Structure 1
């Protein structure tokens, strides 16, 4: 289940996180910066949310978990959007270069857009399925947010890697 919580682009500012005292995106950024060779960036997903839950009064309550998870979700969503914009611009430039030399290759920008739209539908369906495991209980909210956070972070990391390939 996605509720396992032990687990840069747009950076949240202090005003973005003011309502959740223990949330600090620097925790995730630091984790990514000091990874060992045996770690993957995936191991840093949830680091800031976990820190938030551990250091915020009521952080392990349903409401506290939801706030902390949502703050990290917003952090990863900003990174995802920044990376997507960069990759989309790169792919549009490649498409233009290919058209200029008379290539009939399929559009990379269009393929990226279709992939991202399909990924959003997949993420949403996956997280709805995760929520269904909670039978309408209060844990469903944090579980759904955790799922969205984790999957959004993975997609952000995927797109960031694509942005530096070229």
Structure 2
């Protein structure tokens, strides 16, 4: 919760000190959350459902990209990728569990958002590997 408040305070401070020339710039939080996340509004239940759908979409993309990258690897590189993916899953789960320790419905939203963001970012990383 403190982290979110700190992020929001920094974003608010940044917004108050920027020049009018930046008025047409995208929301700085879009970089972290993504534009699609901004459509998840309404009740807590609605937001949880929306975030869950986004996470599922990116999880599918992650799994598809992982299998394709894995198929392109041989020997030690294949084992290294498997190990990295297992470690990444452990990191994601542990990192997002931190947010679950908060109080109230915001903790559920923060946990779901964490899972969505990290899954999206890992999927994009694996997809970039396919382009190399």
Residues 46 and 71 (structure 1), Cα distance of their counterparts in 2 relative to 1, 3 Å cut: farther
- Post-superposition Cα deviations, 1:74-116, rounded to whole Å, max 9, x if no partner, equal 1110110111011000113xx4xxxxxxxxxxx1011000000
Query: Does residue 49 of the first structure (1) align with residue 41 of the second (2)?
Result: no
TM-score for both structures, normalised by structure 1: 0.59
Q: Looking at secondary structure, tell me which structure has more helix per residue.
A: 2
Query: Does residue 66 of the first structure (1) align with residue 40 of the second (2)?
Result: no
Q: Which residue of 1 is the match for residue 57 of structure 2? A: 75
- Post-superposition Cα deviations, 1:20-66, rounded to whole Å, max 9, x if no partner, equal xxxxxxxxxxxxxxxxxxxxxx838532232242xxxxx2x211110
Count residues with an aligned counterpart: 107
Contact 1:84 1:159 in 2 (8 A): yes
Contact 1:2 1:147 in 2 (8 A): no
Query: Does residue 145 of the first structure (1) align with residue 127 of the second (2)?
Result: no
TM-score for both structures, normalised by structure 2: 0.73
Whole-Å separation in 2 of the counterparts to 1:68 and 1:43: 18
Whole-Å separation in 2 of the counterparts to 1:84 and 1:2: 31
Residues 65 and 126 (structure 1), Cα distance of their counterparts in 2 relative to 1, 3 Å cut: same
Unaligned runs of 5+ in 1: 5-41, 54-58, 96-106
Counterpart secondary structure, 1:83: helix
Residues 83 and 51 (structure 1), Cα distance of their counterparts in 2 relative to 1, 3 Å cut: same
Name the Cα RMSD after superposition. Answer: 2.1
Counterpart secondary structure, 1:91: coil
Q: Which residue of 2 is the match for residue 29 of structure 1? A: none
Q: Which residue of 2 is the match for residue 154 of structure 1? A: 121
Contact 2:32 2:117 in 1 (8 A): no
Query: Does residue 131 of the first structure (1) align with residue 100 of the second (2)?
Result: yes
Unaligned runs of 5+ in 2: 8-29
Query: Does residue 87 of the first structure (1) align with residue 69 of the second (2)?
Result: yes
Q: Which residue of 1 is the match for residue 131 of structure 2? A: 164
Whole-Å separation in 2 of the counterparts to 1:109 and 1:145: 30
